[in-house]
Amino acid sequence: MQVSVEPAEGLKRRMTVAVEEDRIDQVVQGKLKDMSRTVKLKGFRKGKVPLKVIQQHYGAQVRQEVIGDVLQSSFYEAVEQENLRPAGAPDFEPKHMEPGKGLEYVATFEVYPEIELADLSKETVIKPVAEITDADVDEMIETIRRQNMTWEEVDRPAEEGDRVTVDFRGTIDGEPFEGGEGQDMEVVIGEGRLIAGFEDGLKGARAGDELTLDLTFPEDYHARELAGKPVQFAIKVKKVEAPKLPEVDAEFAKMLGVEDGDLDKMREEIRASMQQELDSKLQTRLKEEVMEVLLRSHDFPVPEALVEQEGQVLARQMQENFARQGLKAEDLKLDPAMFRDQAWRRVKLGLLLAEIVKANDIKVDPERVKAKVEEIAAPYEHPEEVVKWYYADPRRLGEVESLVYEDQVVDWVLEHAKVEEKSHTFNEIMNPQPAA
């Protein structure tokens, strides 16, 4: 077998492979001999058909099958011979495959890039840190109170924050429109769920009042046929309710699982739960920062074939998410190109992390894997069953091992780079504001 390789654009390689006819013919003859034991042809007994006759009837078909097999096997032999690492499937271009001439083809494919690890001692990782204050615990308690809020009917004009139950009928130029009518709709004044002016127009109204609001749909309203149009709503107020928050007392503590109703113990448990969530968020933020440092400190080409494959994976995952939400995935034609930037980032990071693991002989820590599995299983009603479920399937356990590998790479980066701490509040970590 003769092999020659020439570089093409970027990571692409063009490899010409020539396979001798003897190799192909040897396999063809072997298959034909095997067939002679079982083939049935008119005028011959089973197993007694002459090889020449079998050659005449099946030779071309068998050779075509063998060509396909030899093309695949010779490709992998050739890349191994040339010490190449293909990234993605090759494109084959046959040059000739006629009987008696052997097989010659050109395989075009990308190879994995050579990655030179950067000197991370010159890089700085910004490590986010945060502490939980008593004020943070107080705010969390208020959040829990709002989550357990009830409504109490009142005989007074509606105010900001009240819930008003209404019947309404909307018209445009005196004509009703689709979706413009409703009964027993609950509106919380100040939530901003309805078009501008609707909620404010309910302020001061009492149960039994009837009022008319002249409003305008916003220009960017989701229903294009209504966008920017003036609308008149005839409204009947049926009920006004004020929010009622639970008192922070022994009953409140018991509701949160503190059996003896001790408020100090309740605060301790709330703080402990907040700390667990904070630690998780801080670790995630730190990992994201480390990945950004790795990306900006390493410049190497990424195989387009792998980016395309990853884009297809992301598109498929998005469609599966839509399907789980009850949407028709087949109606959502997601182009993998939509996910190109994300796919490129994931592929580059994957290659980089793999190189760090290989170059530094990082072995996955079984104890950290066990701890990660237990962490994942902890929120479930029967965590021990979840742990068994992960360890029962090497593929599932492999997914956890990948996460642990990432954590171990993060630790390695922190050992080799400069680390600067940056303080944040609890709220800044838990509820980050999107970049402008």
Question: 156 by DSSP, 3-state: which?
Answer: coil
SS3 4: strand
Question: Could you give the angle at which helices 394-416 and 366-377 cross, rounded to 10 degrees?
Answer: 110
Domain presence at residue 217: yes
Which pLDDT score, from 0 to 100, does residue 329 have?
Answer: 54
Hey, what amino acid is at 200? D
Residues 202 and 342 in one domain: no
Q: Identify the CA nearest to 426 among candidates 126, 138, 174.
A: 138
CATH code for position 164: 3.10.50.40
95 in a structural domain: yes
* Residue 364 domain-assigned (yes or no): yes
Number of domains in the chain: 3
Last residue of a domain, one of 199, 215, 244: 244
Q: What is the pLDDT of residue 55?
A: 73
Look-up: residue for tokens 């945060």? Answer: 130
Of 225, 244, 263, the domain-final residue: 244
Judge whether 139 lies within some domain: no
Between CA 296 and CA 123 the distance in angstroms is: 10
Contacts with 146 (C-beta within 8 Å, 6 or more apart), sequence order: 245
Q: Is position 413 within any domain?
A: yes
Q: Each residue's pLDDT tens digit in the chain (436 positions)? A: 899 999 988 999 999 999 999 998 888 888 887 777 667 676 666 666 666 776 777 778 888 888 888 999 999 999 999 999 999 899 999 998 888 888 999 999 999 999 999 999 999 999 999 999 999 999 999 999 999 999 999 999 999 999 999 999 999 999 999 989 999 999 999 999 999 999 999 999 999 999 999 999 999 998 889 999 999 999 999 999 999 999 999 999 999 999 999 999 999 999 999 999 999 999 999 999 999 999 999 999 999 999 999 999 998 888 888 777 777 655 667 888 899 999 999 999 999 999 999 999 999 999 999 999 999 998 898 999 999 999 999 999 999 999 999 999 999 999 999 999 999 999 999 998 776 5
Q: Same domain for 226 and 333?
A: no
Longest dimension (CA), the chain: 105
| The pLDDT value given to residue 58 | 73
Asked whether residue 9 is domain-assigned, the answer is yes
- Distance CA(6)–CA(12), nearest Å, equals 9
* Same-domain check for residues 310 and 347: yes
Give a yes or no: residue 142 inside a domain: no
298 and 363 share a domain? yes
Q: How far apart are CA 412 and CA 414, in angstroms?
A: 5
> Which CATH number do you get for residue 30?
3.30.70.1050
Q: What is the pLDDT of residue 362?
A: 94
Full-model pTM: 0.77
Q: Does residue 206 form part of some domain? A: yes
Domain shared by 274 and 356, yes or no: yes
Boundary of a domain, candidates 178, 213, 244? 244
Domain identity same for 265 and 236 = no
CB 104 within 8 A of CB 15: no
CATH number assigned to the domain comprising residue 271:
1.10.3120
- Domain extent at residue 79: 2-111
Q: Are residues 276 and 359 in the same domain?
A: yes
Residues 104 and 207 in one domain: no
Q: Do 207 and 324 reside in the same domain of the chain? A: no
Whether residues 60 and 154 share a domain: the answer is no
Looking at the fold, whether 84 and 179 belong to one and the same domain comes out as no
State whether 278 and 400 are in the same domain: yes
